[in-house]
Amino acid sequence: MNIFFEDDKKHNIVHIRIQQRNSKKTITTIEGLETSIDLKKLLKYIKKQFNCNGSIIKIEEDNINIIQLQGDQRENIKNFLIKENIVSEDFIKIHGF
């Protein structure tokens, strides 16, 4: 029975966080997306769709990729990921205020 679950596509929980910068400025971070997704193309599309700037942060030692976006984009990103069938709603966790 365990072999059956290992063969299924593994779903990571995608964490969408907001961080306070200077006074009113905020940053939205997205962590836990599948490694098979082309993050550069995804980031380019998100930046154009939501009129914000962003970047990809790579942490080599843990092999983690984090997308950072300007502003509070938590709900926009959640709705986008669900609409485009990148991640189901059950695997999205929103953190922040």
pLDDT of residue 11: 58
Q: Cα–chain-centroid distance for residue 89?
A: 13
Which domains can be identified in the chain, with CATH numbers?
11-94 (3.30.780.10)
**Structure confidence at residue 4 (pLDDT):** 37
Q: Which pLDDT score is estimated for 35?
A: 84
How far does the chain reach from its first CA to its final CA, in angstroms? Answer: 41
pLDDT (average), residues 80-84: 93
